[in-house]
Amino acid sequence: MRKPLVAGNWKMHNTLEEGRTLIAGIKAGHVPDGKVEVLVCPPFTLLYPLSTELEGTDIKLGAQNVYCEEKGAFTGEISPVMLKAAGCSYVIIGHSERRHVLGELGDLLHRKVRVALAAGVDVIYCLGETLEQREAHRTEAVVEQQFTEALGDDVDPRRVVLAYEPVWAIGTGLTATPEQAQAVHAFLRAKAMGIWGREASDNLRILYGGSVKADNAASLMTCPDVDGALVGGACLRAESFLAIVGAAADSV
């Protein structure tokens, strides 16, 4: 059985003091029962100091982005080697805000995935369609293209987590219904099977990310191909983040 993963993407929120307060709240309410993998993804400036706050816990640390080179004259960028040294186990690649706000395209994401994995940092790779694309019945075509442009048979599927995040449901208050989420997750799992085989696809974790909240997490987690959540705004409060972790634990 796939262990659910609940990842909190803090985005561009929290100073060091605020981050320490949030981590303290998560630690105080988290029961490390081994049912769910828990991950927090703060801004770059908080990674190393918060890694010390997580010592002795089973809560993992991840980054929100990475550059596609190990080192070099790339002003303002962060390499996967640096993320690893700061205590990161995961990095998010291909988030819709990176694609649609900052213009990251397939070749760059392809390179990012491979350099992160080579440095020993596992990847949460995001896919998802806009509202216009969904209304044009292009959801499957869009996520298939996003899948194939960055992933392939040269990538170890044991080191990758997918995150389906419909762009139309991020920060809008809208959420895909469990049926909509399940349909896309099942499609992605079938795509993974075609590239990596049945065993790998059966073990591949696919998260839902699109306005996940405490009050809708349980219904999403009941879907057979939903293996956790990539959480945005609701991860900025310990109580709501832990409620989503609890919903994931209850689904096991």
Supply the CATH number for residue 235's domain: 3.20.20.70
Q: pTM of the prediction?
A: 0.96
The whole-chain average pLDDT of the chain stands at 96
Give the model's pLDDT for residue 170: 77
pLDDT higher than 90, residue 6: yes
C-alpha to C-alpha distance for 116 and 202, rounded to whole angstroms = 23
**CA-based nearest residue to 178, from 190, 161, 192, 164:** 164
The mean pLDDT value for 219-247 works out to: 97
Number of domains in the chain: 1
The answer to whether the beta carbons of residues 94 and 125 sit under 8 Å apart is yes
CA distance 79 to 66: 6
- Spot the catalytic one: 30, 95, 110, 185: 95
| Residue pair 192/201 in contact by the 8 Å Cβ criterion | yes
Ranking 133-142, 167-176, 181-190 by mean pLDDT, the lowest is 167-176
Asked if the model's pLDDT at residue 53 lies above 80, the reply is yes
CA distances from 60 to 32, 35, 134 (A): 12, 14, 34
Distance CA 174, CA 131 (A): 11
Looking at residue 176, what is its pLDDT? 86
Q: Is the pLDDT of residue 61 over 90?
A: yes
Q: What is the mean pLDDT of residues 14-31?
A: 97
Task: Indicate if the pLDDT at residue 173 is higher than 80.
Answer: no
Tell me the average pLDDT across 225-240: 97
Tell whether the model's pLDDT for residue 199 goes beyond 80.
yes
**105 or 67, which is more confident?**
67
Sequence-separated contacts (24+) of 128-137 with Cβ below 8 Å: 128/96, 128/164, 128/165, 128/166, 128/167, 128/170, 128/209, 128/210, 129/166, 129/167, 129/168, 130/100, 130/167, 130/168, 131/167, 131/168, 134/166, 134/168
pLDDT at 168: 87
- Whether 175 shows a pLDDT value over 80: the answer reads no
How confident is the model over 68-90, as a mean pLDDT?
97
Mean predicted confidence (pLDDT) in 36-40? 98
With CA atoms as reference, report the closest residue to 244 among 216, 203, 211: 216
The residue range of the domain holding 54 is: 5-250
Is pLDDT at 121 greater than 80 in this prediction?
Answer: yes
**Averaged pLDDT, 68-93:** 97
Active-site entry in 97, 104, 129, 165? 165
* 165 flagged as catalytic: yes
Pairing, β 206-208 against β 90-93: unpaired
Tokens 């709240």 locate to 25
**Which residue, 113, 111, 120, is CA-closest to 82?**
120
End-to-end C-alpha distance for the chain, whole angstroms = 8
